[in-house]
Amino acid sequence: MAPIRLRTKASHQVEKRAKVVRPKHRKGKPSQRVKIVRDVIAEVAGLSPYEKRLLDMIKTGGASSEKRMYKYAKQRLGTHKRALKKREAMKDVYAQMRARQAMEK
């Protein structure tokens, strides 16, 4: 690889080094095995009571259902990010349920 000038007014040319993927950059990402295990458990066990209540909030709808779902999820899960993620997950579950019902008709 030819040397590249990384600085604007530099007379000394340096070569840009490729970044190494470090283990800390993968931290927190679930492996394929963990994903499969979690999916199987969710399929067998079903939804927890608070998740069922979130689904009910979607079904009843209304103008502020998104906000109520968020507030309820945040109360149960503790953090903003987890609440948003759970709200989106429950919306996906509801969409899958609706699609399955539409296929049966």
Backbone phi, psi, residue 4, to 5°: -120, 140
CB-side neighbour CA atoms (13 Å) of 92:
6
| Predicted model pTM | 0.68
Q: Please report which confidence band the pLDDT of residue 89 belongs to, taking 50, 70 and 90 as the band edges.
A: very high
Query: Hey, is 4 helix, strand or coil?
Result: strand
Cα 17 to chain centroid distance, Å, stands at 32
Q: Please report which confidence band the pLDDT of residue 7 belongs to, taking 50, 70 and 90 as the band edges.
A: low
